[in-house]
Amino acid sequence: MKPIATDRSATGIPTGRLAMWMLLPGEIVIFGGLLACYLVYRFHNPEWGVESQHLNLYAGSLNAFILLTSSLFILLAQHAAEKEKDFEAAFKWMWATVICGVGYISVKAYEYTHEISEGFTITANVFWSFYYSATAIHAAHVFAGGLAIAILSFSVRQGKHINRVELTGIYWHFVDLVWIFLFPLLYIAG
């Protein structure tokens, strides 16, 4: 029961993709707002450099690699679905992406556990407050994106809603991009 409106495209961009290009700037200003606050505090508190050394650089790097690879997987899924019309392969690549997401969250959970047990809780210091809130919000977006891809995969396997693979892909790449900035900000420049 799709309205006729949904298939119109006066701009030339399909409706779904246009909507994604509106969602992303909204998300950029949310994360950007949080990070602008972090930056402004960070310049004012140079001693936070000491705090960030307690972050696990290897875990952060591994997570960056996992997300980059998962971005590749969702693109391969899009390629399989749109160009090759191989819906089984698309399904598998989508699940590869989801598993990477699960991996990301597992690594983060490991990091959190370790850090909290050492006493670096969210209230220890404003640096840690930012670290936990920024990475947790990011992880929530990873979770939401992964969930969306997982649910979509079943339709895609049957050849339906193929255009949505690209849309979830765009969202997923965005989530990846946030980590590409968040990781150096907290773990390296920290």
Partner 1 sequence: MAHHELTFSEKFLFPLDHKYVGLQYMWTALFMAAVGGFMAYCFRMQLAFPGESVPLWGVVTPQNYNAFITNHGTIMIFWVAMPLLIATFGNIMIPLMIGCDDMVFPKLNRLSYQVFFVSTVVLFASYFVPGGGFGGSWTTYPPLSARAEYSLTPLGSSMWLGAVALEIVAFLIGGINFLTTTMNARAPGMKMLDIPVAIWMINIATVLFMFSVGPLVAGAIMLLLDQQLGTSFFVPSGGGDPVLFQHLFWFFGHPEVYIILLPTMGFVAEIITTFSRKKLFGYKTIIYTSFMVGILSMVVWAHHQFIAGIDPRMANIFSITTIIISIPLAIMFLAYIWTLLGGSIKFELPMMWAVAFLLEFLIGGLTGLYLGSSAMDIYFHDNTFVVAHFHYTLMPATFFGGFAALYHWYPKIFGRKMLNGVGKIHFWGTVIPFNCIFIPLFLLGIAGQHRKIYDYTHFPDLMQSGFQDLRVFATSSLVVMLCFQFLFLFNFVMGMRLGEVAGNNPWNSTTLEWACPSPPPHGNFGETLPTVYRGPYEYSVPGSDVDFLPQHIPAKA
Partner 2 sequence: MGNEASNGKSSLIKIWALLVVMLIVNIVVSKATGLLVVTFAIPTVMAGIALAYFMHLNVEKKIVWGVMTASVIAIAGLFFGMAPDILNNEGTNWVKCNSFNEKNLERFAGHSHGGHESPYEHHKSALGLDKSGAICTPQRF
Identified binder of partner 2 from the candidate list 79, 92, 157, 161, rule CB under 8 A = 79
CA distance 147 to 32: 24
| Closest to partner 2 by CB, 21 or 110 | 21
Q: What angle do CA 52, 48, 36 make, to 5 degrees?
A: 95
Name the residue among 104, 113, 120, 127 with its Cα closest to residue 44. 127
Q: Collect contacts of 23-32 with beta carbons under 8 A, ≥24 apart.
A: 23/171, 24/170, 24/171, 24/174, 27/141, 27/174, 31/134, 31/137, 31/138, 31/178
Minimum distance between the CB of residue 43 and partner 1, rounded to whole angstroms? 12
User: In the set 40, 136, 144, 151, which binds partner 2 (CB under 8 A)?
Assistant: 40
Rounded to 10°, the helix 87-117/57-82 angle is 170
> Residues in the site for partner 1, rule: CB under 8 A?
1-6, 8-11, 13, 15, 18-19, 22-23, 25-34, 36-37, 40-41, 45, 122-123, 125-126, 129-130, 133, 137
> Residues in the site for partner 2, rule: CB under 8 A?
11-13, 21-22, 24-26, 28-29, 32-33, 35-37, 39-41, 43-44, 47, 50, 54, 57, 61, 64-65, 68-69, 71-72, 75-76, 79, 83-84, 118-119, 121, 123-126, 166, 169-170, 173-174, 176-177, 180-181, 184-185, 188-189
